[in-house]
Amino acid sequence: MVTVDTGYAESMTDAPLWSFLGPAGTFTEMALRQVAPLNVELDPCQDVPTALDRVRSRAAEAAVVPMENSVEGGVNATLDNLVASTPLVITAEMAVPITFVLAGRPGTRLEDVTGISTHPHAWAQCRGWVHHNLPEARYVAGTSTSAPAQALANGEEAGYQAVLCNALAAQTYGLEVIAGGVADNPDAVTRFVKVTRPGRVGEPSGADKTTLMVQLPHNHSGALLNMLEQFSARGVNLSRIESRPVGDSLGRYRFSLDIEGHVREERVQAAFIGLHRTCPMVRFLGSYPRLDARPVTVLAGTSDKDFVVARSWVADVLEGRAL
Amino acid sequence: MVTVDTGYAESMTDAPLWSFLGPAGTFTEMALRQVAPLNVELDPCQDVPTALDRVRSRAAEAAVVPMENSVEGGVNATLDNLVASTPLVITAEMAVPITFVLAGRPGTRLEDVTGISTHPHAWAQCRGWVHHNLPEARYVAGTSTSAPAQALANGEEAGYQAVLCNALAAQTYGLEVIAGGVADNPDAVTRFVKVTRPGRVGEPSGADKTTLMVQLPHNHSGALLNMLEQFSARGVNLSRIESRPVGDSLGRYRFSLDIEGHVREERVQAAFIGLHRTCPMVRFLGSYPRLDARPVTVLAGTSDKDFVVARSWVADVLEGRAL
Amino acid sequence: MVTVDTGYAESMTDAPLWSFLGPAGTFTEMALRQVAPLNVELDPCQDVPTALDRVRSRAAEAAVVPMENSVEGGVNATLDNLVASTPLVITAEMAVPITFVLAGRPGTRLEDVTGISTHPHAWAQCRGWVHHNLPEARYVAGTSTSAPAQALANGEEAGYQAVLCNALAAQTYGLEVIAGGVADNPDAVTRFVKVTRPGRVGEPSGADKTTLMVQLPHNHSGALLNMLEQFSARGVNLSRIESRPVGDSLGRYRFSLDIEGHVREERVQAAFIGLHRTCPMVRFLGSYPRLDARPVTVLAGTSDKDFVVARSWVADVLEGRAL
Amino acid sequence: MVTVDTGYAESMTDAPLWSFLGPAGTFTEMALRQVAPLNVELDPCQDVPTALDRVRSRAAEAAVVPMENSVEGGVNATLDNLVASTPLVITAEMAVPITFVLAGRPGTRLEDVTGISTHPHAWAQCRGWVHHNLPEARYVAGTSTSAPAQALANGEEAGYQAVLCNALAAQTYGLEVIAGGVADNPDAVTRFVKVTRPGRVGEPSGADKTTLMVQLPHNHSGALLNMLEQFSARGVNLSRIESRPVGDSLGRYRFSLDIEGHVREERVQAAFIGLHRTCPMVRFLGSYPRLDARPVTVLAGTSDKDFVVARSWVADVLEGRAL
């Protein structure tokens, strides 16, 4: 465990340990705080694979990692890692608004700032604000949004008096907020996920999504249509699809998918059965509540009851009893 | 029962009674002879609805009726009747080569023939032969291929000395064959079916077909594609499709379908479940051996075993045990 | 030309000659009367192939034949014939209500009737009425609905005093209507078509349909879906589909289709181009006004203008001018 | 232009200026070197949006940016930016093997190294090698793979004696290679693209791909299938698909796609026409040679000639001349 001198991660022997994409004070930690128990012990990791391996090795109970390209990381690393190694499953997703504060050591005023540090991706999202408010400020690149904050707090900075970080990082490192709500796009949000070792799948909430990875048997667009028809034939809607080259010499693809619904629902199971029959690889990566809590639209003929009634009708047909 | 004075249909009290599209000596009777027990009692009927109603009323054990447009009747009457009333199911199909004999009373020679009678559809299939062999012959229309034969045998004919009928009718009515193998298309074949009251469905032969009627929920070609995808998503092939207007004010359609496979096979049941969930009407009309006895091609991923393995995998997913 | 002694078909030298499925007084003649010029010369034929060949040989200008199974004939003969020989095209469709009159020689009263003749299919559609009104009446089969009427008028009948025919036949042969509106299903309607030699295709009416025959390249349900997607990809709706075995050793199928729209419309042409590229046989069998005159629903993005705009956009893309 | 004191980018007045994701010595520069003219003037930029805006403003002639998540950046920034602003198009793609060298100031030996700096993503890809060869080495994060190299060359490093960078960076900054071929996965490759302002689209090479962005009209999986059928109906294969939320309140998606083929080919144009008709937004992002130079498989019925022949047949149909 990479501990940080920030007060948490002490020695509470019974506290659950959660790994995450560090360092302390990142947006990822903000996501973790939304779902972790209050007595969680933090385990900030250098990169996504390390955070996930901490769960695989049972060092950590859960990991929180970014699931969309964000100011600090990319989704592909997360998805590839989930599939490539010992199985893990997603059990929750969280959204974090990507807004920044301009922070400095206590007493720093806006007019004192001639240099600013942050991660380059964060800088790209604040350039408009900086151009308008501190047109002369020089940019100093950082390796994350919180690392420059930590350096500034420790007096180890070089060439800057303020950082663009999130509010948690400013608080964590004892910096003072010079300006809040810094973001060229105030609606920017990034999605994070909580990942655990697989176990018995819980009950649906009624507003769930399911993540899976599927490899196609052949390299032609008909194969993709056939795969998608396994969902549409059961009224299962997709909310995300991404092709990934398998990397073998056959030019094949696998697809990372989010679908609306829960693996305990019949229509999702029916689609899974269809995929397992026809695709060389299907990996279940978790059923969990949707961020927006919007109940899944169950099309006519695709409810659990519809499946039960239909199976009963087929049984009647076999016995010569169906109308 | 409309008995005919032709020797069968007597009083064998234990003989099973089968109805069929009469009169005696039709191609339909030839089809019946292929599958009926030797001691069958014949019940020739005036039309297809009558033959089927004889089974519904338990007067007959089975009915044999044409399933394709033939010289004597059309398939639509059969299909519509099967769906419109109390359910019946198809349990066998038979093919009969549609070739004729030119037959007359004993002693009649080809040069004696100046008039020929038969059903108009049969006439249409023999015109080339007649044009070549009896260019001067006059045509007298008949109501079936065997009724003129019966009339000729009984001395009730008017204006003809020979009939075009099948070999069975010539034999049945004691006529003499003047010329055999009469047919402009010597490969013409018509399909007939055996129909019974529904009962427990038997085991597949491995080379089966299944007939069903399905009504679409909406009147647009997307609805048809969705319906067909219920089959293709399970690798079930179609061998016949016919649209039929439902006849309501909504302009909706129903479809008569033959599919390859047996309702005791998992992939067919999965397709049936999908249809029952999404279509306002699905009627099972029988699973029975294919005429050509060609084993059904089971695509990769659609065998019964594939379904069993896939369901087992989903069960493992739910318990957190799947790879 | 098979003339009948019924008054028409005389010697008007400039009158157009139209062939049809005879004899005089059939429902087919009723259909013909809906669209033929007043001075039409009638050419009743024994069967559908004869009627169509009269047009091919330029003996007749047009033919009217049944397009749906009716009391007098089947559609398959029509469609197969259209495809099998020199091309003909459908230029109009007509609907005729299938209701009957009970007719006899002048002076015949209901209580005089102990025997009735008509075509067996017509008999099947009137049995309920007869059972209720003339329960003791004996049935005498006829070869069409008008042939027994003609025989009755000529004093050549045997065993019946009345016929079930249409009003035109009763009038044609000088019979008196004993009872009108005879039909167990008063809504029964049969569809007929007018067929001509192909020529320049006229302009759309806005409420058109198009008939075509397509052969699939392969014998699997995926091939059928691919073919149907050529229509759905352009928003073209189907209103009829029937599979027909091609009859070769490969077990292939061809499909008879009615689609909504006119071959002069862009979306229909786009679908035709797709079919021609991918199917071994496509035969155009006519674009003509729909019976119900209901304007075709043109889905968003499938109007002629949408095609023109889209092509213009592609041209802009190629020149680097597209937005 | 952000010039760097590395020798290029001087004052060659006629040299074309190309922007790229900097700083000098990145893998992106390696990609640029594959396709740029020898006298190119380099314009390294802090981030992808800056590099692309340099082309939009006509400051640069072309930009080279990463198109796949790599050690230095993500594809999403590139795709979103291409679509969000004034149009740009991709005109080439390049692959760069992602292998590293361990480099230090001249004279540095492996045993001298107790600290190593590089970008965190690069570190993740070399951890196995470091664990095996320098198990005691401390990691110092950097903002790119070349920035620490530059700092080391300038004597501005802190806490490390060696960097993991690419061979170009080592050469650019005058460092000495201590160990080459450092990579836990020696087959890792990242894709980059050359982007320019749109112009007349050139001729196909025969082995091309086309990139586009499409927004769906509705939020259901049927809409995705419909969109993909616009490709499959013309035999156009997909090689990449990624869903992107549009970000409006309707929960709609747009899709970034790579397809096999060139916009000057008929089947691609036909698919484009279909998309333009049915989708609220279609953006062409370039047709350019495939990295693997593997000729595109043209399915039967989808060649340019097939389209020409099919259009000619439709013209014949309209004139009554088609067989």
Strand-by-strand arrangement of the B115-118 sheet: B138-141, B115-118, B162-165, B100-104, B176-182
The CATH number of residue D268's host domain is 3.30.70.260
Which run of H or of E encompasses A315? helix A304-318
Is B289 within a domain?
yes
| Confidence (pTM) | 0.84
Radius of gyration of chain D (CA): 24
Partners of residue C228 in chain B, C-beta under 8 Å = 221, 224-225, 228
What is the per-residue pLDDT for B323? Answer: 65
Residue B318 within a domain: no
Q: What is the mean pLDDT of residues B156-161?
A: 90
What b/e string do you get for C195-227 counting C-beta neighbours within 10 Å, with b at 16 or more?
bbbbeebeebeebbbbbbbbbbeebbbbbbbbb
Question: In the structure, what pLDDT confidence band is assigned to residue A189 with cuts at 50, 70 and 90?
Answer: confident
| Least confident stretch, A137-141, B196-200, C267-271, D71-75 | D71-75
**Is omega for the bond preceding D23 within 30 degrees of 0, making it cis?**
yes
Range of the domain at B167: 100-182
Residue B165 has pLDDT above 90, yes or no: yes
| pLDDT in the model for residue C125 | 83
Asked whether residue A3 is assigned to any structural domain, the reply reads no
B/e letters for D121-133, b = 16+ CB within 10 Å, e = fewer, are bbbbbbeebbeee
Predicted confidence at residue D291, as pLDDT, reads 87
3-state DSSP of chain D: CCCCCCCCCCCCCCCCEEEEECCCCCHHHHHHHHHCCCCCEEEEECCHHHHHHHHHCCCCCEEEEECCCCCCCCHHHHHHHHHHCCCCEEEEEEEEECCEEEEECCCCCHHHCCEEEECHHHHHHHHHHHHHHCCCCEEEECCCCCHHHHHHHCCCCCCCCEEEECHHHHHHCCCEEEEEEECCCCCCEEEEEEEECCCCCCCCCCCEEEEEEEECCCCCHHHHHHHHHHHHCCCCCEEEEEEEECCCCCCCEEEEEEEECCCCCHHHHHHHHHHHHHCCEEEEEEEEECCCCCCCCCCCCCCHHHHHHHHHHHHHHHCCCCC
B319 vs A: CB within 8 A: yes
Residues B219 and B267 in one domain: yes
User: Does residue C171 share a domain with residue C146?
Assistant: yes
Which of D195, D218, D252 terminates a domain? The answer is: D195
Give pLDDT tens digits for C159-173: 899 999 999 999 999
Query: Which residue of D317, D318, D319, D321 is the best one to mutate when testing the C interface, meaning the one whose CB has the most C CBs within 10 A?
Result: D317
Question: Which chain A positions have a beta carbon within 8 Å of D141's beta carbon?
Answer: 143-144, 147
Same domain, B168 and B229: no
Q: Which of A230, A302, A320 sits opposite B277 (nearest CB)?
A: A302
Is there a contact between C15 and C41 (Cβ–Cβ < 8 Å)? yes
What integer is the mean pLDDT of A56-62? 97
Indicate if ipTM > 0.90: no
pLDDT band at B92 (very low <50, low <70, confident <90, very high): very high
Per-residue pLDDT tens digits for A118-128: 987 788 789 88
Judge whether A202 is closer than 8 Å to chain B, CB to CB.
Answer: no
Same domain, B177 and B253: no
Instruction: Indicate if B109 and B178 belong to the same structural domain.
Output: yes
Q: Which of A195, A220, A245 is the last residue of a domain?
A: A195
C111 in a structural domain? yes
Q: Same domain, yes or no, for C250 and C297?
A: yes
Distance, in Å, from the CA atom of B152 to the CA atom of B146, rounded to the nearest integer, reads: 10
pLDDT at B291 over 60: yes
For chain A, how long is the longest CA-to-CA vector? 87
pLDDT of res. B239: 86
Instruction: Check if A154 contacts D (Cβ < 8 Å).
Output: no
Question: Shortest CB distance from D143 goes to which of A143, A231, A243?
Answer: A143
Predicted confidence (pLDDT) per residue in D257-296, tens digit: 999 999 999 999 999 999 999 999 999 999 999 988 888 8
What per-residue confidence (pLDDT) applies to D172? 94
D275 within some domain: yes
Residue A207 lies in a domain: yes
Same domain, B133 and B153: yes
Residues B207 and B299 occupy one common structural domain: yes
CA A97, A98, A103: angle at the middle one, nearest 5?
120
Return the pLDDT at B3: 36
Q: Give residues with Cβ within 8 angstroms of A251, minimum separation 6.
A: A219, A245
The answer to whether residues C272 and C300 belong to one domain is yes
We report the CATH number of the domain holding residue B46 as 3.40.190.10
C170, C195, C220: which is the final residue of a domain? C195
Taking only residues 82 to 121 of chain B, the set having a beta carbon closer than 8 angstroms to any beta carbon of chain C reads 119-121
Lowest mean pLDDT among A122-126, B165-169, D48-52: A122-126
> Does residue D26 carry a pLDDT above 80?
yes
Which residue from B200, B226, B264 is facing A320, i.e. has the nearest CB?
Answer: B200
Q: Which chain A residues are closer than 8 Å to D228 by Cβ?
A: 221, 224-225, 228
In a domain, B229, yes or no: yes
Single-letter amino acid code for the residue at B65: V
Residue B171: pLDDT over 80: yes
Contact (Cβ atoms closer than 8 angstroms) between residue D61 and residue D38: no
Asked whether residue A9 is assigned to any structural domain, the reply reads: no
Q: Which chains touch B (3 or more CB pairs under 8 A)?
A: A, C
Smallest Cα–Cα separation from D80: which of A155, A125, C49? Answer: A125
- A322 in reach of chain B (CB within 8 A): yes
Confidence at residue C9, expressed as pLDDT on a 0 to 100 scale: 42
Residue B207 sits in the same domain as residue B284: yes
Structural domains counted in chain B:
3
Residue B113 has pLDDT above 80, yes or no: yes
C91 and C148 co-located in one domain: no
Same domain for D92 and D104, yes or no, is: no
Mean pLDDT of chain D: 87
